[in-house]
Protein backbone atom coordinates (compact mmCIF):
# COMPACT_ATOMS: atom_id res chain seq x y z
CA UNK A 1 0.00 0.00 0.00
CA UNK A 2 1.11 3.55 -0.74
CA UNK A 3 0.85 5.85 2.28
CA UNK A 4 0.84 9.61 1.74
CA UNK A 5 1.20 11.65 4.93
CA UNK A 6 0.51 15.37 4.80
CA UNK A 7 1.82 17.15 7.89
CA UNK A 8 0.06 20.37 8.80
CA UNK A 9 0.58 23.03 11.45
CA UNK A 10 -1.16 26.39 11.83
CA UNK A 11 -3.29 25.65 8.76
CA UNK A 12 -0.22 25.16 6.54
CA UNK A 13 1.41 22.02 5.22
CA UNK A 14 5.08 21.73 6.20
CA UNK A 15 6.01 18.18 5.17
CA UNK A 16 4.76 15.42 2.88
CA UNK A 17 6.00 11.83 3.00
CA UNK A 18 4.90 9.33 0.36
CA UNK A 19 6.05 5.74 0.73
CA UNK A 20 5.27 2.16 -0.23
CA UNK A 21 3.91 0.31 -3.25
CA UNK A 22 0.35 0.12 -4.59
CA UNK A 23 0.66 -3.63 -5.28
CA UNK A 24 -2.45 -3.71 -7.48
CA UNK A 25 -0.69 -5.85 -10.10
CA UNK A 26 2.70 -7.26 -11.07
CA UNK A 27 5.66 -4.93 -11.46
CA UNK A 28 5.40 -3.13 -14.79
CA UNK A 29 1.63 -3.71 -15.03
CA UNK A 30 0.50 -1.84 -11.90
CA UNK A 31 -1.72 0.95 -13.23
CA UNK A 32 -2.49 2.32 -9.76
CA UNK A 33 1.23 2.69 -9.11
CA UNK A 34 1.70 4.28 -12.54
CA UNK A 35 -1.03 6.83 -11.81
CA UNK A 36 0.39 7.70 -8.40
CA UNK A 37 3.89 7.96 -9.88
CA UNK A 38 2.71 10.31 -12.62
CA UNK A 39 0.94 12.57 -10.11
CA UNK A 40 3.87 12.64 -7.70
CA UNK A 41 6.51 13.18 -10.42
CA UNK A 42 4.49 16.01 -11.95
CA UNK A 43 4.12 17.60 -8.53
CA UNK A 44 7.84 17.25 -7.79
CA UNK A 45 8.62 18.98 -11.09
CA UNK A 46 6.24 21.82 -10.22
CA UNK A 47 7.73 22.18 -6.72
CA UNK A 48 11.23 22.25 -8.19
CA UNK A 49 10.52 24.70 -11.03
CA UNK A 50 8.19 27.10 -9.22
CA UNK A 51 9.20 26.81 -5.56
CA UNK A 52 12.70 25.32 -5.68
CA UNK A 53 14.34 27.45 -3.02
CA UNK A 54 11.41 26.97 -0.64
CA UNK A 55 11.35 23.15 -0.63
CA UNK A 56 13.72 20.30 0.00
CA UNK A 57 12.92 17.11 -1.92
CA UNK A 58 14.45 13.85 -0.71
CA UNK A 59 14.05 10.79 -2.94
CA UNK A 60 14.88 7.41 -1.44
CA UNK A 61 13.95 3.87 -2.39
CA UNK A 62 10.19 3.52 -1.80
CA UNK A 63 9.98 6.94 -0.12
CA UNK A 64 9.74 10.59 -1.14
CA UNK A 65 9.87 13.41 1.38
CA UNK A 66 8.98 17.01 0.60
CA UNK A 67 10.00 19.47 3.30
CA UNK A 68 8.65 22.98 3.06
CA UNK A 69 11.37 25.36 4.18
CA UNK A 70 9.49 28.59 3.56
CA UNK A 71 5.80 28.51 2.78
CA UNK A 72 3.79 30.78 0.52
CA UNK A 73 0.34 30.71 -1.06
CA UNK A 74 1.49 29.09 -4.32
CA UNK A 75 3.34 26.32 -2.51
CA UNK A 76 0.32 25.55 -0.33
CA UNK A 77 -1.87 25.42 -3.44
CA UNK A 78 0.54 22.94 -5.04
CA UNK A 79 0.34 20.74 -1.94
CA UNK A 80 -3.48 20.94 -1.98
CA UNK A 81 -3.44 19.99 -5.66
CA UNK A 82 -1.21 16.97 -4.97
CA UNK A 83 -3.42 15.88 -2.07
CA UNK A 84 -6.65 16.22 -4.08
CA UNK A 85 -5.22 14.18 -6.96
CA UNK A 86 -4.09 11.39 -4.63
CA UNK A 87 -7.47 11.45 -2.85
CA UNK A 88 -9.13 10.92 -6.23
CA UNK A 89 -7.11 7.73 -6.72
CA UNK A 90 -7.87 6.68 -3.13
CA UNK A 91 -11.62 6.85 -3.87
CA UNK A 92 -11.24 4.26 -6.65
CA UNK A 93 -8.49 2.16 -5.02
CA UNK A 94 -8.80 2.36 -1.21
CA UNK A 95 -6.88 -0.92 -0.75
CA UNK A 96 -3.85 0.48 -2.58
CA UNK A 97 -3.40 4.02 -1.25
CA UNK A 98 -4.03 5.66 2.11
CA UNK A 99 -3.83 9.40 2.70
CA UNK A 100 -3.32 10.81 6.18
CA UNK A 101 -3.39 14.40 7.34
CA UNK A 102 -1.20 14.69 10.42
CA UNK A 103 -1.85 17.66 12.67
List the chain domain ranges.
Answer: 2-102
- Give the model confidence (pLDDT) of 78-95 as tens digits: 999 999 999 999 999 999
* Rounded Cα gap, residues 87 and 84, in angstroms: 5
Q: Taking the domain 2-102, which CATH number applies?
A: 3.30.70.1490
**For residue 76, is pLDDT > 90?**
yes
**For residue 64, is pLDDT > 90?**
yes
For residue 46, give Cα distances in angstroms to 25, 39, 57, 78, 85.
Answer: 29, 11, 12, 8, 14
pTM equals: 0.94
Band of the pLDDT at 27, cuts 50, 70, 90?
A: confident
Amino acid sequence: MVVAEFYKENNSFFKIIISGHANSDKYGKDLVCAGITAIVNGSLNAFDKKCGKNVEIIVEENKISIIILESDKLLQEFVDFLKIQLETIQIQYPKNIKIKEVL
